[in-house]
Structure 1
Amino acid sequence: MMQDRWIVAVGMVASFGITAARGQVDLHRQAIELVNEQSSKYKAASRTIWEYAELGYHEEKSSALLQKDLQEADFTLQSGVANEKTAFIATYGTGKPIIAILGEFDALPGLSQADQPDRKPVVADGAGHGCGHNLLGAGAALAAVAVKEAMQKNHLKGTIRYYGTPAEEGGAGKLYMMRAGLFKDVDVVLHWHPQDRNAVLNGGTLAITSAKFTFHGIAAHAAAAPERGRSALDGVMLMGTGVEYMREHVPGSTRMHYVITKGGAAANIVPDLAQISMVARSPSSDTLAGVWERVENVAKGAALMTGTTVDVDVDASMSNILRNDALAALAQKNMNEVGGYTMTPQEQTFALELQKSLPQGAAPPLSLSSEIVPLAVSQAAVPSASTDVGDVSWNVPTIGFVAATFVPGVAPHTWQATASAGMAIGQDGMMVAAKSIALTALDLLTHPDLVAAAKADFDKELATKKYISIVPMDRKPDPNYRGN
């Protein structure tokens, strides 16, 4: 069944490519030129946001910079949407189809790093763009502006929207934007993410749930009257032990990790409060729901064994990205047309030096930046990360790209990624993403049959699956969020 759908999607896009008028080919060429013309401004924006390095829900300067640039490009702004101070929507055009491009701009705690190939924090223990969201936000805006320029020059109908989405790193900013109805009229969503290679992202992410488990006990003198105490820390420790025993009995692709965030005030006082921050992931939201129920039962058991009580506060839950084969075929065609980039001698020197800091065997050839991974290969990769794009994809047909913004072999959430994201290698990869998004958006704006095919594939996926989010419906974005 899946193979049949894939053949139909490839056939449709191949037919589109064969029958496309000369004007469509020229539109692609024009869009690429428009991205190149605007590149200096948005490369500079990516660098400035990299220097700001603001954590989720606190990206005031980063959000303001992108809003300013988009307003200057004739986009209409809605700021502070969905009760998120740094969230915004920038819109150009009217009517259908409505094509959305997602942008992010939050940094990660503890990953401050200079743009050099050896470890050197700019600010000790400071935040840094170790996931490249400075590039993500600026590159997505660059694509949106190029599409808008092409729409103006060619008198194209439809609407292009840029969604400035805060707090992707655990804060689930897009979830609240989606619940506020901000995507309800969108036809297709396009997104991208920094990586060490160029590929189409069709599904391939992990659903995730994270929560704080707070145990409440009874304080007592740990030596004079320990029998009077009930240790909340014991509850936390036993919960951790129970989760460790679970590992043997969950699907191999499931990931569980935790830290103890509160362990007590002093060793001679039986802790009356302790807390563990727990995260679980799985390629399927359905599977994750079952795993998470067992995690909560482990916590309840730990509380029962220790005579304590436990509160569970789910602070984030993100679904896996729903695949869309029709959009994937279109996206792959366009990324192949754009191609990757070849590092300059200076970039090669930087990359080879930085690769010395990677584990042995973790440094692939630098030519990875010039290649486009075939769709069959990228879709066969084992999912390894999570994003709140997943929740959007269960409500609107969605497709994404990854682009080689990191030195080959560099993983996200590392100081090496921060270093790459602040210099030319990151900016070169950002251009590949911006061009691929721009071409795809223009194809969707000018070919209603492609939008219809994306919606048909979306409906087929949902015919046998159900969207799940365990974040309480009355939960609001946390303004005191400081990053996960």
Structure 2
Amino acid sequence: MRKTLPILLLALLLPVVAASAKPPRQLRKNAGLHYLDDHFLRYDSLQKQLHGLAETGYREFRSAELLCRHLEQHGFRVERGVAGIPTAFIAAFGEGGPVIGVMAEYDALPGMAQDTVPFRRAPAGGGAGHGCGHNLLGTGSVAGAVAVSKWLAEGHRGTIRLFGCPAEEGGGGKAYLMREGCFEGLDAMLDWHPDTRNTVNTQTGLANVQVRFTFHGRSAHASGAPEQGRSALDAVEAFDFMMNLLREHVPQTTRIHYVITDGGRAPNVVPDRAEVLYYLRSPQRTVVGELLDRALKAAEGAALGTGTTFEHEIISGNYERLPNRTLSELLYRNLECLGGIRYDARERAFAVEMLRNSGITDTACLARVSRVEPPSDEGLAAWVSSDVGNVTWGVPTGSLRIASFVPAGSGHCWQQTASGGTTIGTKGAMQAARVICLTACTLYTDPATLARIRAEFLERRGPDFRFEPLMGDRTPPLPL
């Protein structure tokens, strides 16, 4: 992999490796970097506001509006409610091409409420929390887009588009935006996600569908007249049993998980309705389709065996990612020059205490946040799904992972909610913004690289590709 940059860029960026929050003042020769260096506290406040709002998918009304207003204050033209989703938006700055996109997310996870302390403490009342760091993802992407706009405002030609993408966590918001053509006309897309390491993601990840199975039976007194009842919960349990048996007879890379979301209300009433929510995953979306067919047959068998009926609803569906080596290498070179994340004494003390409260006595793992690791297909696996996968088949996309959490948990955990709401998370978001800014500025001024990115994209995707949404033509699953 090439690790060279133009001499001028090296002179500008190499000293940044040792910096914690911003590079030395005398080296701010790029208007975008200059802006980011001067506005750490502004974006620290923004991400903490999102962290406090913690709105779940398709309910991110205040979070989306907060980001929209910030972008408008910086001269962006904002279109709200795109693709029929009230919390989706597109913000644009500049004129003409190239047109570079950046994706922002801002939805929280149900049940992940956590105070920003290094031990487990949920706020009174519990609720949702940013256990996946989308408060940082949204803030870092917006900061990066605004930084690019400062560079464009100096007289450079091009357009930056920030896509406000709701409901990544289970709602598949980007699939609906993709279906409605929101990403058309882009030359490249830049994507990032908070992590406990600094790297570039070049793996495909997993395609997936989220499916709700609802069984209908007949209620009766569970003791007085059980023979009159037909238990929908029995059907769910029979279905789940068959799906668990199925695990032995699927490819090893398959993932199947579920949660019973409705199992009745009282033991002495035969449930006439029961519901279970499934995720079906595989590195190939064709295998996901096969899994769904087999699941439907299992559901049919469970219904026949229990004297019930069933219906299913595909809530969301995501493609596996289509990597782009050329764009990933450009991102990686910029990330290498900028370096990892440096904790100050206060942040390190917070991290050490969090490790101790997580049962981890060896603090050597903290070193990983300060280094840049090779791309993820060189030793780091990606066994997760994202609706970003849909977008990668419509526009060449490069994806970063930036150390924004204390490495004390395993994803979707209280440790990530807690550390992501501190300056530890803000440093990750701002480093992502710097990489986004540098990469976008390169793409605006290097048509040869853009051409190579496009050529690789078309070759990998193939000439006969046509996007077929895995959730079909259903409307977005907006809250009632």
State TM-score, norm by structure 1: 0.91
CA contact 1:109–1:125 (8 Å) conserved in 2 = no
Correspondence for 1:4: none
Once the two structures are overlaid, the 10-residue window that deviates more, 178-187 or 237-246, is 178-187
Contact in 2 for aligned 1:38/1:146 (Cα 8 Å): no
Alpha-carbon shift at residue 306 of structure 1 (Å): 1.5
Runs of 4+ in 1 over 4 A off after TM superposition: 18-30, 359-364, 464-468
Counterpart residue type for residue 148 of structure 1: S
Structure 1 equivalent of residue 433 of structure 2: 434
Change (3 A) 1:293 1:428: same
Residue 356 of structure 1 aligns to a residue whose secondary structure is helix
Letter in structure 2 aligned against 1:415: W
Unaligned runs of 5+ in 1: 1-9
Cα RMSD of the aligned pairs, angstroms, is: 2.3
Per the TM alignment, residue 223 of structure 1 is displaced from its structure 2 partner at its CA by 3.4
Cα distance, 1:22–1:350 mapped onto 2, change above 3 Å: closer
Aligned CA distance change for structure 1 residues 272 and 362 (closer, same or farther; 3 Å): farther
Match of 1:276 in 2: 276
Q: Could you tell me which residue of structure 1 aligns to residue 357 of structure 2?
A: 357
Matched ranges for 1:281-292 at <5 A = 281-292=281-292
- Tell me the equivalent position of 2:462: 463
Change (3 A) 1:22 1:281: closer
1:24 & 1:94 partners in 2: Cα distance? 27
What are the Cα deviations for residues 143-181 of structure 1, in whole angstroms up to 9, with x where unaligned?
01111101112x111110111111111111111111121
1:2-401 matched pairs, under 5 angstroms: 10=1, 14=4, 17-18=5-6, 29-153=30-154, 155-358=155-358, 365-375=365-375, 377-401=376-400
Superposition deviation, residue 361 in structure 1: 8.2
Contact kept in structure 2, 1:195 and 1:402, CA below 8 Å: yes
- Where do 1:416-455 residues align within 5 Å? 416-455=415-454
Partner letter of residue 136 of structure 1? L
For the residue of structure 1 that corresponds to 2:383, the secondary structure is: coil
Amino acid at match of 2:430: M
Name the SS of the counterpart of 1:326 in structure 2: helix
Judged with a 3 Å threshold, the aligned counterparts in structure 2 of structure 1 residues 349 and 34 are, in CA distance, closer, same or farther, namely same
SS of structure 1 residue aligned to 2:153: helix
- Secondary structure of 2:357's match? coil
Identity %: 39
SS state at 2:129 partner? coil
| Distance of 1:323 and 1:362 partners within structure 2 | 35
Q: 1:265 to 1:31 in 2, by over 3 A?
A: closer
Residues 183 and 395 in structure 2, CA contact (< 8 A), matched pair in contact too: yes
Q: TM-score, normalised by structure 2?
A: 0.91
Query: Letter of the aligned partner of 1:57 in structure 2?
Result: Y
1:44 positional shift? 1.1
Residues in 2 aligned to 1:22 and 1:317: alpha-carbon distance in whole angstroms: 42
Is the CA contact (8 Å cut-off) linking 1:209 and 1:316 kept in structure 2?
yes
Contact 1:255 1:281 in 2 (8 A): yes
Total equivalences in the alignment: 466
- Offset of residue 435 of structure 1: 0.6
Name the CA distance, whole Å, in 1 between partners of 2:29 and 2:202.
Answer: 22
**Counterparts of 2:164 and 2:34 in 1: how far apart (Å)?**
24
- Tell me, in whole angstroms, the C-alpha distance in 1 between the residues paired with 2:201 and 2:371: 15
Which range moved further: 242-251 or 37-46?
Answer: 37-46
Unpaired stretches in structure 2, ≥5 consecutive residues: 14-26
Relative distance call for 1:24 and 1:183 in structure 2 (3 A) is farther
Look up the match of 2:17: none
Distance 1:108 1:338 in 2: 31
Decide whether aligned partners of structure 1 residues 207 and 22 sit closer, same or farther in structure 2, where only a CA change above 3 A counts: closer
Per-residue deviation, residues 421-446 of structure 1 (Å, max 9, x unmatched)? 11011111112111111111111111
Please give the alpha-carbon distance, in whole angstroms, between the structure 2 residues aligned to 1:18 and 1:151: 20
